[in-house]
Structure 1
Amino acid sequence: MQDAYPCPTPMAAGTKLFSSDSELFKDPSVYRNTIGALQYLTSTRPDISFTVNKLSQFLQAPTKLQWMACKRALRYLKGTQFHGLQFKLVAALCVECYTDANWGSNLNDRRSTSGYCIYLGPNLIQWSSCKQKVVALSSTEAEYRALAQTATELAWLDNLFFEI
């Protein structure tokens, strides 16, 4: 991948990955090791969280299409290798959060994916992208579950700030 061309996004728009989307990848250990490295990288690169979450769902038996999606994430990282988190000093700090859900996005089990990001002033301090634990029966339910997860994290942060 050292000589690969960079790409502008970590995942192609409209990409639908599922367990039998193409033939099996011949070396699953390479896929697993690469995903493990990408998971480690999400601690400083939240922009790849969604992609890594999606690719992590196929560690058991990855396919060639999933490996191609993994290589695209690596190409994205090559083009954005100097990106990362920046922290800025500000006089007043306020907490802002954003949350969203993708209803029934997993084609295998129809579970939704939730994501959130929490800012303290202009600084991103916490983020997540994960599959919901149950199948939502509507997009509204998926959004409410995402909101509940974010509210739980905000309550935890509130307690932490109070103790500090």
Structure 2
Amino acid sequence: MPHIPLDENLPGITGLLNFRQDTALPIRQLTQILLRGESTLSEGERELIATVTSFGNQCKFCTAAHTAAADALLGEHETAEMVKHDPENAPVSHKMKQLLEVARRVQADARTVSPELVAKAREAGATDMELHDTVLIAALFCLYNKYVDGLASVTPTEPAFYDRLANILKNNGYLPSPNRYASLNETK
């Protein structure tokens, strides 16, 4: 049960953003820039960064939401599961493996992002912008994970909910729009 009154039809961060819309807009704008804006990392790769960060923080809502979003963008279900549970053998590039390790370090203790780790990522082909955005996405999702769990936001358990949310995120991104979540709680 949430610690504050939230719209029960808007689980996870969606209800929190709806609760305080003046803070929601800059949150949504930054998320849109980082996860859907111009980048040499694909949208799916950036969702993987959000996924491993949320998984490391044990945030069930954000892990499920961004795993589903990564799956929708990548067009398969194996990669997101592997980056969470078997990152060494995940079907991503060596560069992406290094960036995901940077994200894990940011999530666990950002002070452990060492010059050696950054050098490994650069040797694997990571650019300064990719390093910057990886750290910022991981840091931002640490905030989101704590926001969702700190206010005990509703966390659906049915996978179909997250599939519907993933399609909204894939097709519409993170910016607000009228009736954005109208189909979120439909049963299919």
Same fold (TM over 0.5): no
Name the structure where helix makes up a greater proportion of residues.
2
Name the structure where strand makes up a greater proportion of residues.
1
Greater relative contact order: 1 or 2 (C-alpha under 8 angstroms, separation 6 or more)? 2
Rg larger for: 1
TM-score by length of 2: 0.28
